[in-house]
A and B are shown apart, each in its own frame.
Chain A
Amino acid sequence: MPSVFPFSAIVAQEEMKTALLMAAVDPALGGVLVFGDRGTGKSTAVRALAELLPKIETRDGCRFNCRPEMPQTACETCRCEGHAKPPRIVKIRAPMVDLPLGATEDRVCGALDLEKALIAGIKRFEPGLLAAANRGFLYIDEVNLLEDHVVDLLLDAAASGVNIVEREGLSIRHDARFVLVGSGNPEEGDLRPQMLDRFGLSVDVKTISDLDQRIEVIRRRDSYEADPEGFSGRWSKREAGVRNRVVSARKLLPRVETADAVLRRMSELCMALGIDGMRGELTLMRAARAATALEGRTEVRWEDAVEAAPMVLRHRLRRDPLDDTASTVRIERAVAAMNGAGHG
């Protein structure tokens, strides 16, 4: 496997990087949707993030990424069926599964193991992409072009953390806890609002227009391609820094607290923007917590919520075809109005 372009070497696109880190800290956030122009480093960032995160422990040969101490019933390897001793524990890179656009339901959820069925006539479950992505990332490029019924499946699994397969004679239930990352180009087709709403965070990426930054991107890309290992080596210190931030934030997260006053203001913000449902508020709270943890603090401040608000709320605003102000601006305006009211 060639070494991956380092996360910290990605130029600019700060919002996208922050959103991905927040999702990595708290997988319950509900994933990230990255919408924007082509060639802006969307897929590079996601692949880099998986590389950067701490390795996970599992057993050798496990296809479900089970925790060694908690073997799943679906996993024959970890339940050590047939042999007394379970396979040894190995450390693997956080899984990063690419979901190809043409993937069938069978491929996503898992299906009958063809080899065993055809040759031995044995009914065995062949885990799908959801199992492979357990405890890692599931990345869908061009999510807006994916079949609706597959998106439904994915979002269901992502929200519940479990994949259930009920087919003739097969009844399987296994963990599918992953961070869903979708990317796409809105010019090529919209995502239905119902789907949009289920992504936790959403980021708009624009192509970099600053010439110096553009040159820097190309320079880094060039030296990476000329010598991937050497390049990764030069960035390893910064990569470790980011990794440590995520690791300590994950530890810190359960202790992060949100004051009632801040929670109330979050609700007010959502109401002011006319956002339907509780999901927006809930995600805003979680996002603010993740952001706080990333900063190494344990007390959510209103500023944390303000910073996270565009990512959380941008795709939940009711679309008004006539309001030409960008959704980010609308959120900022609502925040400014609230700040004014709050101090008055």
Chain B
Amino acid sequence: MLELEGVNAGYKDLQVLWGVSLRVGEGELVALVGPNGAGKTTTLRIISGLLKPTAGSVRFLGRQLDKEPAHRIVEMGIVQVPEGGRVFTGMSVQENLELGAFTARARKEKEQTMKWVYQLFPRLEERRHQRAGTLSGGERQMLAIGRALMAKPRLLLLDEPSFGLAPILVEQIFEMIAEINRQGVAVLLVEQNVRAALELAQRAYVIENGRIVGEGSGDALLSFESVRSAYLG
């Protein structure tokens, strides 16, 4: 459903991405892994329209994305969970979720989606009237994901959901991501936690210095020699 082909991109004079091509199929869970500064977040910014490519093409469900503004792309069904969650700390959990259903498409089904999100994250329902700023790191990440789900994504983009979380929480969050994917939402997961991401994903891409250097099923990459030595030690 999502296809990047030969995408170049960067900031001012600094080119970050060099001919990046990748693909996410309907209902797939794909991981994009690589070291710090490899271009993972930049790739996500390209997909969600916050940054425009200087060359190459981005297509979603057969439509060209590279000219669309960010808010239109959300309307089309690509929703990003930004790194660190970026919840609205001054608002309650419930208000955060309500803001998630901002697009016209999501608004119609707001009540049902919220029930679904509370089912996925019972913890959020317990804290619905609490201010988001008082949540723990793990709960914030849940809220950020829940808020993105409120926008009714067809494709969910996750930027480092494990960032700053204790291992036990990472496991829980990843379990939730798998569950969300099982319920039919395609996921593109960007991670530095390579092992966990590869175990979770059906397919994965390895990115280094702005270039895709490896592609395969998660299991295959896990046993791939260069990946093992570079990331898994």
Mutual binders A and B: no
